[in-house]
Structure 1
Amino acid sequence: MAGASTASANVIDFTDASTGTSGSILNGTVTWTMDASGYLNNSQSFDGNSTPSGTGLSFETDGYGVGMRDDEITTVSTNNFEWIRVTFSAPVLVDAIYFLDLFQARDGSSQEIGIASINGGHPIISLYASDIAGSGAAGFVGASFAAIAVTEIFFTVLSSNDNLGFADGALAGISFVAPIPLPAAGFMLLGGLGGLAAVRRRRKAA
């Protein structure tokens, strides 16, 4: 499940410096909003030594975090953690989630883990760090999966860390699948019904 995902038809790019805390997708038919446990911040410039490919993300910034001076979602302990929530006005089909700034400890003893709880925790997607802290890498992790109908995603980071301060990571993007346009869906349905009718006529003729 973890690893870079190919770009889907649509992505909400939180690494784009112009992306705010609300917007619309699917030609304006669905709106989305973000809220958080504190001030939402995506002002930190992308600082990886290479740009991940195949995501549809711009990587102008490190993505969204929580705090006036912090671009990361930070967890101090299981009872002291920051979070970001993205809510959609109607169900959308999400097929990938992206984080930045998730790292493994240099000695391999622990790793940061981003968490996306979908629709109240059904399912919970875990994104495990693979880049080594201090290596200059971006700490990018993507999780791709079969499309899930989503109305709300709750993001946080587990308390395991890279042994450099507290566990933290930044929300980089959400990828979703564009639905079949209603006219096309109607034509497909009519085509399927027509095919069934033709099969019945053949059976009667036989």
Structure 2
Amino acid sequence: MALGAVGANAAVIDFTAASTGTSGSVMGGAVTWTMTGSGYLNNSQLFDGNSKPTGTGLAFERDGYGVGLNDDEITTTPMRQEWIEIAFSSPVMVSAFYFLDLFQARTGGTLEVGQASIDGGAPVSLVAVDVAGTGAAGFVAAAFQPIYASVIRFTVLNSNDSLGYADGALAGIELAPVPVPAAGLMLLGGLGGLAMFRRRARA
């Protein structure tokens, strides 16, 4: 019943907010999420773009989450590929991913690509559009038809911006509302449970 009540509202898990840690809850507390990674999880870097993108619901207080004690980015080198994984206690509907610090080379020859794999499936790619060294935030959004997800793994493709190894920061996940039919079924289920409880109480 609680899920049905909040099903009409989309939500964003904002990894650019200073207060967002490595676990939390969504859908009115009905679903919890936990972040793990291939190393120390870090969102200590202040947002350093010359302007904050609009229309995302993100705070842009930080640059997002990365892996490493002194690094706020998910990095891929010829020797390793760092990752961050978000696991939900129950499936949720995701509709967008957000990255920061993904850049194209000034020459245009190379670029960074963030990737998100939902439940082990083919990755969703977030391709850099901002040019390195211009003061831009390296912000990329990937929006898509909502899909149920239990576990999402974020990595960065082995390409770069010609300034070093490929890297980028996880900025956010957008959750879509529960579809109306599903929300209605949950509401009916809750009402049915109440009716059964009342019958037992009368007996």
TM-score tier by shorter-chain length is: 0.7 to 0.9
Structure 2 unmatched ranges of 5 or more = 1-8, 189-203
Separation in 2, partners of 1:93, 1:81:
27
Name 2:141's counterpart in structure 1: 142
Shift of 1:184: 5.9
Q: Which residue of 2 aligns with 1:202?
A: none
* TM, length-normalised to structure 2: 0.84
Partner of 2:45, secondary structure, is coil
Residues 114-148 of structure 1 show CA distances to partners (whole Å, capped at 9, x for unaligned) of: 0001111x231000000000010000000000000
Report the equivalent of 2:119: 119
* Structure with max Cα Rg: 1
* Alpha-carbon distance in 2 for matches of 1:12, 1:187: 23
The equivalent of 2:29 in structure 1 is 28
1:74-153 matches, within 5 Å, as: 74-77=75-78, 79-120=79-120, 122-153=121-152
- Describe the superposition over 1:93-112 as per-residue Cα deviations: whole angstroms up to 9, x where unpaired: 00000000000000000100
* Residues in 2 aligned to 1:187 and 1:150: alpha-carbon distance in whole angstroms: 18
CA displacement at 1:178 relative to structure 2: 2.4
**What is the TM-score normalised by the length of structure 1?**
0.83
Cα separation, 2, equivalents of 1:90 and 1:186? 17
Distance in 2, Cα, partners of 1:183 & 1:83: 32
Gapped runs of 5+ residues in structure 1?
A: 1-7, 190-206
Q: Distance in 2 between matches of 1:100 and 1:161?
A: 14
1:125-204 correspondence runs (5 A):
125-179=124-178, 185-186=184-185
Q: What is the DSSP-based 3-state SS (H/G/I as helix, E as strand, rest coil) of the residue aligned with 1:133? A: coil
Identity value in percent: 62
Shift of 1:24: 0.4
Per the TM alignment, residue 165 of structure 1 is displaced from its structure 2 partner at its CA by 1.0
- In the other structure, the counterpart of 1:66 is 67
Q: Secondary structure at the match of 2:29?
A: coil
Structure 1 residues 107, 11: closer, same or farther in 2, change over 3 A? same
- 1:201 is aligned to none
Root-mean-square deviation (Å): 1.9
Q: Distance in 2 between matches of 1:181 and 1:21?
A: 30
The whole-number CA distance in structure 1 between the counterparts of 2:179 and 2:38 is 35
